[in-house]
């Protein structure tokens, strides 16, 4: 380890002098910049859905989706308050759309994922196609794609919003445009994208697409069924149970370029092997109950609860029921940059 | 165009002399080697399924699947007889498995596709997993994967076999091994591969696979439904109707490295725009009736008929019913080598 | 654009309430998070080499390379003071190694580039091979590669250090190890990597490498000669003159996964077309003189000066001599994430 | 192994009957189609350059390059006579251009490589740029690129032509066009492509190219120097000595999509470990002397001799002098298709 550099009056005078030239001595800050292990303010935390829901319903009375543009409560990591971050690089919020409301069309550099927590029948429109959203559906609004939401059902609809807002901000590459209309024009029947790109086939002649999956709704019915089917093989990963990564079928890569998205099944009575990785992760429980130890913190979770695990903190999940958990992180970013690391303990 | 090189006695003497040294003058053969357009012996042809079926049932009485190893009748292109080729680079055959029979386990360098024409409930086993086969299913036995077939149903089962036998022969890279058992050991429940790799998700931690899709049965039920769903958008390709390419979801590439496989829907009363490409193609009709003009030849087709179109011959399809056609060609080979070409006429 | 959301006592009370639950209303911060255009504190600035040099020589008397681990003065963007950043995502410093000194061996997640400004004959050792450094050489110390520096010459050696320190910090993925020795063991003769990987050939049987180029010194002599040769074609890019991207020859991608590196030739009397892009860029002048207008700021530059242009600020270069400029930015990161954008004006 | 299927009168009658329907029983030909190991007519053979040269000079008197279009003697594998093939998939010829001659501009689907054997100063023009050719230079004329040759020197110029003619013929995808002029227009100075793409940099803004390297002359001076430099590390591959693969720097893949090209250095007194692979290979000696055992055949070679090794025949090289050998094969084709295999013996 780097030894502490000694402070002297001469050195202090030097530091002050170069400060005026917009220079700083590396040796005074190096151990803070290049740490032996990940070391951010990000802490483990769990938000109970009951609390989120109550606050959201109150928000529903205070502001319309239209006035708010998006009626969302940001889940701020307690260690990173005032920064609109759930981890160092990612954002999480919970969005509420009340029956009859629309969240008007805009588009931006930021990629967004939606993971449906409660309700049925609201829609997201992307690229001229609407998709109805059901609990457990994973919906993508890609970077620079026009998107709007509406709720034609008679119940409030809640979903988790995951965005790469801090990342785009950090890279200083944010653009946003507003369509000036509540809804974008609809050009294709519902389900077209899933049929066209999600059946393990691609249309002949289609030019290879962008960085984001052309599928924009991965229905829970299909994902859940796949997990149930795989369970028959009895091959459980000691750290993850059965954990699946959503893919872009045009490339096999993560479904989105900036956020990795996962769905995992942990059987009742499962205790996972200690696992850590450098991608801080947001977990959103769909089914089941259990508790997770994350570093020194324990969280108890049930359906719709959301919790976050920081980079490199060891995680152990213990289930008391069959559990299904959605999660997302910046894993694809770290993998593309060659710095992602995991530690599977002895598993 | 290259002018004809004149023949002289001196030149003839020279040709004879160098012939002894295993040399040949390029200018005497160049116009045959490097042609202005594709120019092989491959011709358009159609095999009626009724004829194939009759011959196959007779074969069923003459030889067992076990003695034959595979009870298959090769469809030989009339312009390439004696070479076991349906196009210059590919092979086609029709395989029959009678109730109670097995076609014993072997593996080889050659990749094979199966497209089910008639029957229900026979299986193909690949990599420790069995898959039941239904009409219209597209099944892959990858290069060097152990595979065997059996028919536990009470009806004969017919399917189209497409292989890259001539290609592997041409490259002089054939290997085959016999397991010495009729059936390979089964390690995974049926449907596991489709659940694991076919739901637009991939298992976490899976190392990127080989050149062939890890899905080995693309069920017709799902593929057909996708086409029907896409039809609602009303976006027909003038040349192809709705034509889908089966993909390897780990890469977005063709499902197999040596053969492109496609399923297309042509609506009733459709006349396709004139189309040609350099990948000679084998078509296998699933549903519907129509006729196709291929260069100067017309073929009339109905369910289960098989026809072949040579490289660069213009094709026009005319349907009298909604038609669904499976097809395969060496398109991925030509694309990887940078020599594939298509001509969409004025479409 | 989003209208300002009105503040009311009820809303204020609500904000305070949810604040206790680690939640924030998106609509109060949305316009700051998702901006219509890049909008960070990063500002244009130029450091004169004469000033850097003077400060560095003073540092040379105050601390040894060994005590400092690396004797580097960080160039801090005036708009981002106290954060050790030259742009929002990248770090720049100038390193001095005095004759006879060594900067001891360590390795870390952070990737580093060195661009030599003054001196001759110091070395960088990477992966068991030493490379001697000359002015204009671009040297890489890849993520997690052991590296150390030494100066066996009789003159002080100055180089620009570019690192992705802020990026790795942001992603919370920093690891560092110290070898406990000044110098790593040397296993290969000097120049081996350049011969092995830099001659447009690759050793047979070599497994595809990592994300970083296996070449770790791109000598100026070769790069400069290429530019001079290309100049004969007279094809100048209106925005960039002749601008080359250093590549990883195993992939054709940027030489490093997190930083794009470039060398460009602007002929005497050239005025570049207005250009902007979302990757804030650090420029290091090798030869020649000129000035650059960056947004509303003008900087005059000569050999060894370093200047920075923020994201999306229009840049115009005007040269009074033939000029050669090295530059680096986070372009590969933004491109991999699908958010990089450029605006070539009318060029 | 497959047992021989018994012949019976009934079966014979059946075979005749289905023959009329363009069908053949697989079981009668299967063992010839799917062989346990590669098994073609291709045999090992060596052409002495002295013999080639003599024949070529005689050809030089019998026909002009213009009348011949290309004055080339094809090296035909003795086991594949009359097919213009040196291996099952590739073509080899030796081309002579006499001082003052031109071989007129054409372009075709076939990719060609030139490897210079004797002479100095003839040129190949590709894509508007001329390159002067020296002994040992490896020159590419990519698929569909206009190319012409001329000899402005005062000595005859001999080079090896390697083409994928049999492959393109097999895939039935040949197109050729003649420019109608001896020489294509020259738009760029000599050396531009090598400077632009060969210095481990790429021009900014260049769209990713095609399947073939944008470098079209890999000068021997640079390749040879790299080998000599690598030799200092003393790391010899037991099978290959120091063997380098020419690459496309935009992708890291083989320089050409259909032919792998290699340059290897075997030191004096080296006996290589037994090696075999499925890509039959053409070797062209540049420097040195030795002998090679290929299967059951031994060949003695010296400078400019050309020899061929069939698929899967074990090769052992023994050198009596430092030797440098160029070689080419269809390795990239087999690798892309997932069927390439090698056997390094115990190395």
The verdict on D266 touching C (C-beta cutoff 8 Å) is no
Grade residue A1 by pLDDT with cuts at 50, 70 and 90. Answer: very low
Write down the pLDDT at residue C3. Answer: 52
Distance, CA of B201 to chain centre: 27
Structure tokens, D202: 């790429």
Supply the DSSP string of D285-302, one letter for each residue: EEE--EEEEETTEEEEE-
Write down the pLDDT at residue D2. Answer: 46
Q: Per the CB < 8 Å rule, is A202 touching B229?
A: no
Contacts of C253 in chain A (CB under 8 A): none
Angle of the B49-62 helix axis to the D9-19 helix axis, nearest 10: 170
Shortest distance between the Cα of A143 and any Cα of chain B, in A, equals: 20
The answer to whether position D147 is within a domain reads: yes
Q: List pLDDT tens digits, range A22-50.
A: 999 999 999 999 999 999 999 999 999 99
Q: How many Cα neighbours within 13 Å face the side chain of B43? A: 15
The answer to whether position B235 is within a domain reads: yes
Write down the pLDDT at residue D347. Answer: 75
Q: Per the CB < 8 Å rule, is B263 touching A208?
A: no
Q: Per the CB < 8 Å rule, is B204 touching A237?
A: yes
The answer to whether position D148 is within a domain reads: yes
Contacts of B172 in chain D (CB under 8 A): 38-40, 42, 87-89, 278, 280, 310-312
Q: List pLDDT tens digits, range C287-312.
A: 999 999 999 999 999 999 999 999 99
Question: Which of C204, C245, C251 shows the shortest C-beta gap to D201?
Answer: C245
Provide CB contacts within 8 A for A169, sequence distance 6+: C33, C40
Shortest distance between the Cα of B247 and any Cα of chain A, in A, equals: 5
Q: List pLDDT tens digits, range C170-203.
A: 999 999 999 999 899 999 999 999 999 999 999 9
Q: What's the farthest any 2 CA atoms get from each other in chain A?
A: 74
Q: List pLDDT tens digits, range D62-80.
A: 999 889 989 999 999 999 9
Structure tokens, B3: 């002018």
The verdict on B230 touching A (C-beta cutoff 8 Å) is yes
Q: Per the CB < 8 Å rule, is B189 touching A233?
A: yes
The verdict on B273 touching A (C-beta cutoff 8 Å) is no
B–A contact (≥3 CB pairs within 8 Å)?
Answer: yes
Provide CB contacts within 8 A for D340, sequence distance 6+: B173, D277, D278, D279, D331, D334
Chain A interface mutation, best of B127, B130, B204, B273, highest count of A Cβ atoms under 10 Å: B204
SS (H, E, C) D38-85: CCCCCCCEEECHHHHHHHHHHHHHHCCHHHHCCCEEEECCHHHCCCCC
Q: How many other C-beta atoms can be found within 10 angstroms of the C-beta atom of residue B34?
A: 22
Cα dihedral A141/A146/A150/A152 (nearest 10): -100
Q: Phi, psi at residue B68, to the nearest 5°? A: -75, -15
CB D64 within 8 A of CB D128: no
The answer to whether position D4 is within a domain reads: no
CB A305 within 8 A of CB A241: no
The verdict on D9 touching B (C-beta cutoff 8 Å) is no
Q: What is the pLDDT along chain C (347 residues), one digit of tens a residue?
A: 345 789 999 999 999 999 999 999 999 999 999 999 999 999 999 999 999 999 999 999 999 988 998 999 999 999 999 999 999 999 999 999 999 999 999 999 999 999 999 999 899 999 999 999 999 999 999 999 999 999 999 999 999 999 999 999 999 999 999 999 989 999 999 999 999 999 999 999 998 878 999 999 999 999 999 999 999 999 999 999 999 999 999 999 999 999 999 999 999 999 999 999 999 999 999 999 999 999 999 999 999 999 999 999 999 999 999 999 999 999 999 999 999 999 998 77
For C214-253, b where at least 16 C-beta lie within 10 A, e where not — what string? bbbbbbbebbbebbebbbebeebbebbbbbbbbbbbbbbb
Write down the pLDDT at residue C1. Answer: 39
Nearest to C22 by CA among A93, A49, A78, A301: A78
The answer to whether position C109 is within a domain reads: yes
In this complex, the chains that touch C, judged by 3 or more CB pairs closer than 8 A, are A, D
Shortest distance between the Cα of D325 and any Cα of chain C, in A, equals: 14
Shortest distance between the Cα of C234 and any Cα of chain A, in A, equals: 34
C-alpha–C-alpha distance, residues A21 and C47, integer Å: 8
In this complex, the chains that touch A, judged by 3 or more CB pairs closer than 8 A, are B, C
Question: Which of A33, A176, A311 shows the shortest C-beta gap to C172?
Answer: A311
Chain B interface mutation, best of A201, A222, A234, highest count of B Cβ atoms under 10 Å: A201
Q: List pLDDT tens digits, range D271-302.
A: 999 999 999 999 999 999 999 999 999 999 99
The verdict on C342 touching A (C-beta cutoff 8 Å) is no
Contacts of B10 in chain D (CB under 8 A): 62
Q: Phi, psi at residue A69, to the nearest 5°? A: 70, -55
Structure tokens, A339: 């710095």
Chain A 275-304, CB below 8 Å of chain C: which residues?
278, 280
The verdict on D177 touching B (C-beta cutoff 8 Å) is yes
Provide CB contacts within 8 A for D255, sequence distance 6+: C200, D138, D140, D212, D213, D215, D218, D246, D247, D248, D261
Does residue A5 register a pLDDT over 90?
no
Burial of residue C344 (CB within 10 Å: 0-12, 13-18, 19+) is middle
Question: Which of B201, B208, B237 shows the shortest C-beta gap to A245?
Answer: B201
What's the CATH number where A220 sits?
A: 2.60.120.10
Chain D 179-208, CB below 8 Å of chain B: which residues?
none
Q: List pLDDT tens digits, range C59-80.
A: 999 999 889 989 999 999 999 9
CB C342 within 8 A of CB C335: no
CA–CA distances in Å: residue B327 to residues A197, B217, B240, D168, D213? 19, 16, 12, 22, 33
User: Quick one: chain B helix, strand, coil %, rounded to 5?
Assistant: 20, 35, 45
A–D contact (≥3 CB pairs within 8 Å)?
Answer: no
Q: How many Cα neighbours within 13 Å face the side chain of A229? A: 18
C-alpha–C-alpha distance, residues C165 and A107, integer Å: 31
The verdict on A273 touching B (C-beta cutoff 8 Å) is no
Grade residue B337 by pLDDT with cuts at 50, 70 and 90. Answer: very high
C-alpha–C-alpha distance, residues D168 and D275, integer Å: 28
Q: Per the CB < 8 Å rule, is D62 touching B35?
A: no
Domain total of chain A = 1
Q: Per the CB < 8 Å rule, is A55 touching C311?
A: no
Q: Phi, psi at residue D183, to the nearest 5°? A: -120, 140
Question: Which of A204, A213, A251 shows the shortest C-beta gap to B243?
Answer: A204
Does residue A346 register a pLDDT over 80?
no
The verdict on B339 touching D (C-beta cutoff 8 Å) is yes
Nearest to A250 by CA among B254, B244, B331, B251: B251
Write down the pLDDT at residue B314. Answer: 98
Nearest to C324 by CA among C228, C247, C229, C248: C228
Shortest distance between the Cα of D27 and any Cα of chain B, in A, equals: 5
Which one-letter DSSP state was computed for residue A295?
A: T
Shortest distance between the Cα of C127 and any Cα of chain A, in A, equals: 17
Average pLDDT over residues A240-255: 98
The answer to whether position A20 is within a domain reads: no
C-alpha–C-alpha distance, residues C67 and C69, integer Å: 5
Looking at chain A, which residue has its C-alpha nearest residue C34? A174
Provide CB contacts within 8 A for B29, sequence distance 6+: D74, D84
- Rounded to a whole number of angstroms, the CA Rg of chain A reads 22
C153: containing domain: 41-344
Write down the pLDDT at residue D210. Answer: 84
Looking at chain D, which residue has its C-alpha nearest residue C220? D199
Question: Which of D24, D40, D178 shows the shortest C-beta gap to B1?
Answer: D178
Angle of the B9-19 helix axis to the D49-62 helix axis, nearest 10: 170
The answer to whether position A162 is within a domain reads: yes
Provide CB contacts within 8 A for A312, sequence distance 6+: A37, A38, A276, A277, A278, A343, C172
The answer to whether position B56 is within a domain reads: yes
Write down the pLDDT at residue D1. Answer: 39
C-alpha–C-alpha distance, residues B265 and B241, integer Å: 6
* A278-A280-A281 Cα angle (round to 5): 130
CB A115 within 8 A of CB A263: no
Q: Phi, psi at residue C247, to the nearest 5°? A: -120, 160
Structure tokens, A189: 């029947």
Structure tokens, B43: 């011709």
- In sequence order, which ranges of A63-120 are alpha helices (DSSP H)? 65-68
Write down the pLDDT at residue D3. Answer: 52
Burial of residue D121 (CB within 10 Å: 0-12, 13-18, 19+) is middle
The structure's pTM equals: 0.97
Structure tokens, B223: 């593929």
C-alpha–C-alpha distance, residues C313 and C274, integer Å: 10
């Amino acid at each position: 380890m780097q030894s502490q550099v000694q402070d002297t009056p001469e050195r202090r005078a030097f530091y002050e002098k170069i400060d005026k030239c917009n220079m700083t001595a590396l040796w005074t800050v190096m151990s803070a910049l290049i740490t032996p292990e990940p070391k951010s303010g990000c802490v483990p935390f769990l938000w109970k859905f009951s609390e989120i829901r109550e606050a959201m319903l109150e928000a529903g009375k205070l502001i319309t989706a239209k006035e708010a543009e998006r009626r969302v409560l940001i889940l701020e990591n307690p260690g990173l308050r005032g920064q609109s971050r759930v981890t160092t690089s990612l954002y999480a919020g919970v969005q509420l759309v009340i029956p009859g409301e629309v969240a008007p069309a805009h588009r931006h550099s930021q990629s967004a994922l939606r993971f449906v927590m409660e309700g049925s029948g609201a829609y997201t429109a992307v690229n001229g196609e609407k998709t109805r959203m059901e609990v457990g559906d994973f919906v993508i609004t890609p970077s620079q794609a026009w998107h709007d939401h509406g709720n034609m059902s008679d119940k409030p609809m809640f979903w988790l919003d995951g965005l790469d807002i801090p990342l785009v901000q950090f890279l200083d590459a944010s653009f946003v445009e507003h369509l000036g209309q509540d809804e974008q024009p609809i050009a294709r029947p519902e389900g077209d994208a899933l049929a066209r790109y999600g059946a393990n086939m691609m249309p002949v002649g289609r030019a290879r697409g962008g960085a984001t999956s052309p599928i924009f709704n991965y229905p829970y019915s299909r994902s859940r069924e796949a997990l149930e089917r795989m369970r028959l093989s009895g091959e459980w990963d000691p750290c993850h149970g059965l954990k699946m990564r959503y893919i872009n079928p045009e490339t096999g890569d993560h479904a989105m370029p900036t956020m990795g998205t996962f769905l995992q099944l942990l059987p009742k009575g499962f205790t996972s092997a200690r696992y850590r990785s450098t991608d801080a992760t947001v977990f959103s429980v769909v089914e089941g109950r259990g508790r997770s130890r994350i570093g020194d913190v324990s969280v108890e979770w049930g359906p719709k609860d959301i919790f976050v695990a920081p980079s490199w903190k060891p995680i152990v999940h213990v289930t008391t029921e069959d559990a299904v958990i959605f999660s997302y992180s910046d894993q694809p970013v770290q993998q593309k940059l060659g710095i992602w690391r995991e530690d599977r303990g002895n598993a």
